[in-house]
Amino acid sequence: MKILALRFSALGDVAMTIPVVIAFCRTNPDIQLTMLTSGMGKKIYDAVSDNVPNLTVRGLNLKKDYNGIGGLNRLYGELKAEQFDAVADLHDVLRTKWLRLRFMLSGVRVAKIDKGRNDKKALVRHTSNGQLKSGFQRYQDVFEELGMKVDMAKYDTTGIRKRLAESVANDIPEQAIGIAPFAMHRGKIYPKAKMQEVIGQLLTGNPMLHIYLFGGSDEAQELDTWTLADSQRIHNLAGRQGIADDIRLMARLSGVISMDSSNMHLASLVGTRVISIWGATHPHAGFLGFRQSPEDVVSLPLPCRPCSIYGNKPCRYGHWKCMEDIDPKTICQRLTGK
């Protein structure tokens, strides 16, 4: 039996498919699964997945190579030739809706993700404050709708962590953590000056500690200035290595401090503890990192939170207290337990 799964973006959401997809393949070794994702998504899969013989991952640039209806029809033609028995749409956007429709009309079984949009709207409107279904469960539901089981215990973070940690150079200090201080939207970013306070307090409290900064190439120059506080123990990796190298290094670290961002999910994939900082968004929306403890979430119980599911809305009061009022000491204490 052959299954096609679809999820192209965003990076954190693609990362969240990985535990489910790998667990699915290990639960159903007789089923061949092809995962269609972005080029960057494939790099994450390639870094984490190993010895999963019934999983094939393809990275596509839809806008460049399959743009418009014509491009999608061409992609459908290529995929149809592979004679898939079912399609799992883990994205449910216009492109995947079109592909899903074409497959359905040709008699192929399809299932799509239920994103729980109404529940998320209720969470933001504060008419519901309960924990929503996690993204991992929503992905799992798609496969189960197709009549297939997923045993999530078959995603072995301990084994993945050990394997990747052994692939990293031995010059990484024993006492080392990562910090990923940025996110796509302001409502998800802890103030830069306060994060530098966090770094200062951690280094002062532990003379043996080394800190590795993660970010994109567009953040490299700014993070270089952060290393000036202690160039021997603060290491800026932004723009200096690929995402696969970031993931492997995360497997060697004792912990990562991150926003509600893709780096939280990358560290979670390899079983590294994450102290996650939440402002406009909330873990109740279902996006906490895989197997991360709610006890490691840092946030403030403000009545206006959450005001956004994705952090892309402006602060209605203009003060951004959800991030501005978090004490750097709180973050340090959550990490060290002191």
Reported as a single tens digit per residue, the pLDDT across 48-81 is 999 999 999 999 999 999 999 999 999 999 999 9
42 phi, psi to nearest 5 deg: -65, -35
Predicted pLDDT at 26: 98
Q: Within its chain, how far is the Cα of 81 from the centroid?
A: 32
- The answer to whether 65 and 286 have CB atoms below 8 angstroms apart is no
- Give the separation between CA 306 and CA 215, rounded to whole angstroms: 25
Which domains does the chain show, CATH number per domain? 2-155 (3.40.50.2000), 161-336 (3.40.50.2000)
Q: What is the pLDDT of residues 280-324, one digit of tens each?
A: 999 999 999 999 999 999 999 999 999 999 999 999 999 999 999
The CA-CA-CA angle for residues 190, 118, 41, to 5°, reads: 55
Per-residue model confidence (pLDDT) at position 306: 97
Confidence check: pLDDT of 129 > 80: no
Query: What confidence score (pLDDT) does residue 268 get?
Result: 98
Per-residue pLDDT tens digits for 3-49: 999 999 999 999 999 999 999 999 999 999 999 999 999 999 999 99
Counting Cα atoms < 13 Å in the Cβ hemisphere of 76 gives: 20
Residue pair 85/109 in contact (Cβ under 8 Å)? The answer is yes
Read off the pLDDT of residues 150-177 as tens digits, 9 standing for 90 and up: 999 999 999 999 999 999 978 899 999 9
pLDDT in tens, 73-125: 999 999 999 999 999 999 999 999 999 999 999 999 999 999 999 999 999 99
Structure tokens at 96: 């995947």
**pTM given for the model:** 0.97
Three-state DSSP string of the chain: CEEEEECCCCHHHHHHHHHHHHHHHHHCCCCEEEEEEEHHHHHHHHHHCCCCCCEEEEEECHHHHCCHHHHHHHHHHHHHCCCCCEEEECCCCHHHHHHHHHHHHCCCEEEECCCCHHHHHHHHHCCCCCCCCCHHHHHHHHHHHCCCCCCHHHCCHHHHHHHHHCCCCCCCCCCEEEEECCCCCHHHCCCHHHHHHHHHHHHHHCCCCEEEECCCHHHHHHHHHHHHHCCCCEEECCCCCCHHHHHHHHCCCCEEEEECCHHHHHHHHCCCCEEEECCCCCHHHCCCCCCCCHHHEECCCCCCCCCCCCCCCCCCCCCCHHHHCCCHHHHHHHHHCC
* Average pLDDT value for residue range 181-197: 97
Structure tokens given for 207: 């003379």
pLDDT for position 196: 98
Q: How confident is the model at residue 244 (pLDDT cuts 50, 70, 90)?
A: very high
**Interval 194-214 mean pLDDT:** 98
Q: What is the pLDDT of residue 338?
A: 87
Looking at residue 290, its amino acid is F
CA dihedral 60, 61, 67, 69 (to 10 degrees): 30
Question: pLDDT tens digits, residue range 250-286?
Answer: 999 999 999 999 999 999 999 999 999 999 999 999 9
